[in-house]
Amino acid sequence: MKAEIENTILAISKSLDLLSKRLNWDTAELKLEELDVLCEDSNLWSNPVNAKKLMRERQLLSDNIVSFKSLLVELQDLTELYKMAELENDQPLQDETEIAFRKLKKLVRLKETEALLNGEADANDCFLEINAGAGGTESCDWASMLARMYSRWSEKQNYNIELVSQHVGEEAGLKSIVFKIKGKNAYGWLKSESGVHRLVRISPFDSNSRRHTSFSSVWVYPVIDDNLEIIIPASEIRVDTYRSSGAGGQHVNTTDSAVRITHIPTGIVVTSSEKSQHQNRANCMSALKSRLYELEIRKRTQSVQAAHENKGDAGWGNQIRSYVLQPYQLIKDLRTNYETSNSQRVLDGDLTDFMSATLALEVSGKTRSESQDNFSG
């Protein structure tokens, strides 16, 4: 067997070993049996909130068990298939199996990272908000590029994306945009993207083709469970209506249908610009509750101050990632030191390695520069 294949099998085996520890594999099936018994209790739905929580826990554990077993079987099958191809001197089959090994290696690493998504709200859907910062039209264009990047990433994950609100720039791009992204672990993956993103490029809006630096901020917060009661006194909010901007048909710019709600104690502002003012108010209240819930989660983990410092104003001092397109190409995360020169691939939505590096950093406390090899190859 080739040394390269032996090393790949070893790497996959090590990742599976780590994954088994994160899943508490030794007791996982026993735990599932206990949850099955609890879910069959005739009094389960006397407390709907706990019932739904229990059902979600059971489904997640069941999915993890099925997934882990399938990975073990696939590794065993590929190993046997490759040995057979070697014995029969079947080069095309060997080549095909080598490709399958590489795909399995990447999949196992992804599952290993997903096992880190065990925070209180990690499994939830989320809101993703982008605001143009310093840089005028350049930053508005940068905000639209980020919106496209996150839309592409979400599509690659088979997530559902809903536009909640947007405010177009005066000349080009977007002043702000808010998406609601639905899918398993949407918040767990995207929470690492909160912060200021910096772009350096030759501006297409500059007739002298000079290099410009632009900033946009990204803020991600979880959609809360319908059964989680968060009470917001009417005295703590200010509701404003205004005319929406951008595409939307004949009703746009004819009535004050868009809604902006400001939470006075925290200064949090949420907006929605669908056609129905009633729906916009409901959207805003949902988003506000999610923001307050996210704030509470961070307080519990004693990281709220760091989170606000990371977001801050969209300018020089609060960056999490730098995107340099000219005079050279380099995208670098300033928290983990993970970087790549393939800027177009990232802007087309290939973000998972950056997110994985940040998740690993949160768990290990190491910068990904120490283990960047884990996400290459």
Residue 314 inside a domain? The answer is yes
Question: What pLDDT digit, counting tens, does each position of 89-143 carry?
Answer: 999 999 999 999 999 998 998 888 888 887 778 888 999 999 998 768 899 999 9
206 and 134 share one domain = yes
- For 241-251, write each residue's pLDDT tens digit: 887 765 444 44
Q: What is the pTM of this model?
A: 0.73
**What pLDDT was estimated at residue 126?**
93
154 three-class SS = helix
Same domain, 246 and 106: no
Whether 50 maps to a domain, the answer reads yes
Q: In what order do the strands lie in the sheet with 258-263?
A: 237-242, 258-263, 268-272
Q: 3-class SS at 226?
A: coil
- What is the predicted pLDDT for the residue at 367? 43
Both 159 and 181 in one domain: the answer is yes
pLDDT attached to residue 310 = 52
- DSSP secondary structure string for all residues of 77-142: HHHHHHHHHHHTT-HHHHHHHHHHHHHHHHHHHHHHHHTT--STTTTS-EEEEEEE-TTTHHHHHH
Query: Residue 291 belongs to a domain with what CATH number?
Result: 3.30.70.1660
Over residues 174-190, mean pLDDT? 93
> Does 295 lie in the same domain as 201?
yes
Q: Give the C-alpha separation, 140 to 214, whole Å.
A: 9
- The answer to whether residues 110 and 130 belong to one domain is no
* 285 and 195 fall within a common domain: yes
- Which of 114, 138, 171 is a domain's end point? 114
pLDDT at 302: 52
Assess whether 138 and 43 both reside in one domain: no
**174 and 100 together in one domain:** no
Range(s) of the domain holding residue 207: 126-335
Same domain, 132 and 245: yes
* CATH code of 77's domain: 1.20.58.410
Render pLDDT for 15-63 as a digit per residue (tens, 0 to 9): 899 889 888 899 999 999 999 999 999 898 998 878 888 898 898 899 9
The lowest-confidence range among 186-195, 221-230, 243-252, 281-290 is: 243-252
Domain boundary among 80, 114, 148: 114
Q: Whose CA is closest to 175, among 108, 271, 276, 101?
A: 271
Half-sphere exposure of 93 (CA within 13 A, CB side): 13
Number of domains in the chain: 2
The residues near 90 (Cβ < 8 Å, ≥ 6 apart) are: 84
Rounded Cα gap, residues 239 and 281, in angstroms: 9
Range 360-373 average pLDDT: 54
The residue among 360 and 289 whose pLDDT is bigger is 289
Final residue belonging to a domain, choices 79, 114, 149 = 114
Residues 106, 160 share a domain: no
Most confident of 81-95, 140-154, 156-170, 289-303: 140-154
Q: Is the dihedral of CA 30, 57, 73, 25 positive or negative?
A: negative
State which of 144-158, 166-180, 200-214 shows the largest mean pLDDT.
144-158
In a domain, 219, yes or no: yes
DSSP conformation class of 223: P
CA distances from 304 to 1, 222, 245, 297, 358 (A): 52, 15, 33, 8, 17
In a domain, 217, yes or no: yes
Question: Does residue 22 sit within a domain?
Answer: yes
How far apart are alpha carbons 198 and 212 in whole angstroms?
A: 10
Q: What is the average per-residue pLDDT within 158-172?
A: 91
| pLDDT value for 370 | 46
Do 40 and 138 lie in one domain? The reply is no
Task: Tell me the CA end-to-end span of the chain in Å, nearest whole number.
Answer: 20
Cα angle, residue 224 at apex, residues 356 and 220 outer, rounded to 5°: 40
Nearest C-alpha neighbor of 338 from the set 372, 362, 288, 304: 372
Q: Which amino acid is at 282?
A: A
Mean pLDDT across 71-95: 94
Identify whether 360 is part of a domain: no
Average pLDDT over residues 77-95: 93
Mean pLDDT of the chain: 85
Q: What order do you get walking across the sheet with 211-222 strand by strand?
A: 160-168, 174-182, 126-132, 211-222, 195-202, 319-324, 330-333, 339-340
Is residue 172 included in any domain, yes or no? yes
Assess whether 281 and 135 both reside in one domain: yes
| Residue 69 in this model has a pLDDT that exceeds 90 | yes
Is residue 233 included in any domain, yes or no?
Answer: yes
